[in-house]
Amino acid sequence: MDLRHVGRRRLGAYGGPGPGHARSRQPRLAFLALDVGCGEGRFCRLLAQAGVRTAGIDPTRTLVETARQRHPEGLYQLASAESLPFPDSSHDLVVSYLTLIDIENMGAAIAEMARVLAPGGTLLVANLASHNSAGRWLKDKSGKPLGYLIDRYLDERPLRQAWAGIDIVNWHRPLSTYMQAFLANGLRLTFFDEPKPASGEDPTGGKFVRVPWFIVTEWQKD
């Protein structure tokens, strides 16, 4: 995902996040980013490399510990999206990358993201497409995928699966449930994409382009 355009206007307005601030005659507000569900911290490290002060929260202790080990100067806290340990309007950019499908109380999480966002700030969300989470591949006898069967699209439900020996619960929700939650919190949609594999090559042999996979949205708090 290309984060370079995010918040550019705001960075520009205040003279950028780097040493240039000190020379700016504008009263400088620090540009602060928050990665909600940061996992082992890859986006926090990416943003830190771009000069953006970033905090990460995640409720999984081992992931927060790994993030701290990989980025000792970073700011990582054990916390949940539904109750963010930050004041109102305290961040200019909030990132949620593949976390909303993990969160049972998604409405509370989006309300919290909107609350900690400063007016003029940006919420950047990548999530698994709802048309994907409602379906499964149909395969022939040899295992070749024939097509994708979507069923019970409007039924919100937990999806239990095992991954690397861990039991995971994700949530299927129709796209409208997510969109209505953002809109109900006064956020304005400024970007929408269903990105193709960046390399042009599909590592799954076509599955990434045959069915809806990721949705990227950017929301503005006015």
- When CB distances to ligand SAM are compared, the closest residue is 39
Q: What long-range pairs does 155-158 form, CB within 8 A, spacing at least 24?
A: 158/104
Minimum Å gap between C-beta 120 and ligand SAM is: 24
- Type of residue numbered 193: D
Q: Of 47, 63, 118, 125, which one interacts with ligand SAM (CB under 6 A)?
A: 63
| 54 contributes a contact to ligand SAM by CB under 6 A | no
Task: Say how far apart CA 58 and CA 68 lie, in whole Å.
Answer: 12
If DSSP codes are grouped into helix, strand and coil, which group holds residue 17? coil
Task: Say how far apart CA 95 and CA 87 lie, in whole Å.
Answer: 17
| 59 contributes a contact to ligand SAM by CB under 6 A | yes
Task: Say how far apart CA 102 and CA 161 lie, in whole Å.
Answer: 12
Task: Tell which positions 103-122 bind ligand SAM, by CB under 6 A.
Answer: 103
Q: Which stretch binds ligand SAM (CB under 6 A): 56-64, 116-124, 171-179, 209-217?
A: 56-64
Minimum Å gap between C-beta 112 and ligand SAM is: 9
Backbone angles phi, psi at 116, to 5 degrees: -80, -5
β-strands 75-78, 187-193: how paired? unpaired
By CB under 6 A, the count of residues binding ligand SAM is 17
Q: Of 31, 32, 33, 39, which one interacts with ligand SAM (CB under 6 A)?
A: 39
Residue whose CB is less far from ligand SAM, 58 or 92: 58
Minimum Å gap between C-beta 126 and ligand SAM is: 8
Query: Can you list the alpha helix ranges (DSSP code H) found in 91-144?
Result: 106-116, 130-133
Q: Which stretch binds ligand SAM (CB under 6 A): 34-42, 47-55, 65-73, 189-197?
A: 34-42
Distance set, CA 18 to CA 71, 123, 140, 163 (Å): 19, 22, 55, 40
Residue whose CB is less far from ligand SAM, 89 or 170: 170
Could you tell me where the beta strands, DSSP code E, fall in the chain? 32-36, 53-58, 75-78, 91-97, 117-128, 135-139, 145-150, 157-163, 166-172, 187-193, 214-221
Residue whose CB is less far from ligand SAM, 37 or 74: 37
Q: Which stretch binds ligand SAM (CB under 6 A): 57-65, 137-145, 147-155, 202-210?
A: 57-65
Residue whose CB is less far from ligand SAM, 24 or 161: 161
Residues lying near ligand SAM in the complex (CB under 6 A) are found at: 36-39, 42, 58-60, 63, 80-82, 97-99, 102-103
